[in-house]
């Protein structure tokens, strides 16, 4: 027996079925960001005033490279998940919603890639 309402069937709407996954991923990325972002802020306080060579040496340290890559990936994922909800709340036209959500995902991926490339350029070129 289908639990779908008549209206849902007629309008082609209904549960997107991805709700729980989104909710869970937002929490997982949030929990991951707690130590990652705090570590980054503390580290930044130590190197923000340092000469370029010192900053490069810090980024190039293997454990720092790994953590920075993790931070960038998780951060942009969390940003995308969060902004998705905000946009869903305020955009109601279907075509605009799809366009904006796809654009958001593209920007998030590009942002994460830009960060990763910068980190790897420093790390591998050192």
Whose Cβ is closer to other proteins: residue 2's or residue 90's? 90
Calculate the CA dihedral of residues 61, 77, 17, 95 and round it to 10 degrees: -150
90: Cβ contacts below 8 Å, ≥ 6 apart: none
- Min dist CB 1 to other proteins, Å, is 30
Distances (CA, A) of 75 to 40, 80, 105: 12, 9, 13
- Min dist CB 78 to other proteins, Å, is 9
- Min dist CB 121 to other proteins, Å, is 4
- Min dist CB 23 to other proteins, Å, is 9
Whose Cβ is closer to other proteins: residue 10's or residue 45's? 45
Residues that bind other proteins (CB under 8 A): 27, 30-31, 34, 37-38, 41, 45, 48-49, 52-53, 55-56, 59, 75-76, 79, 82-83, 86, 92-93, 111, 114-115, 117-119, 121-122
């Amino acid at each position: 027996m289908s639990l779908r309402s008549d209206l849902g069937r007629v309008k082609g709407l209904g549960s997107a079925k991805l709700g729980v996954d989104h909710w869970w991923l937002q929490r997982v990325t949030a929990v991951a960001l707690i130590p990652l972002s705090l570590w980054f802020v503390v580290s930044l306080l130590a190197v923000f005033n340092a000469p370029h060579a010192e900053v490069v040496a810090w980024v190039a340290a293997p454990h720092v490279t790994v953590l920075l890559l993790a931070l960038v990936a998780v951060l942009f994922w969390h940003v995308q998940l969060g902004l998705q909800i905000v946009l869903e709340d305020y955009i109601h036209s279907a075509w605009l919603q799809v366009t904006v959500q796809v654009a958001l995902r593209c920007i998030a991926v590009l942002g994460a890639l830009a960060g990763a490339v910068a980190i790897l350029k420093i790390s591998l070129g050192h």
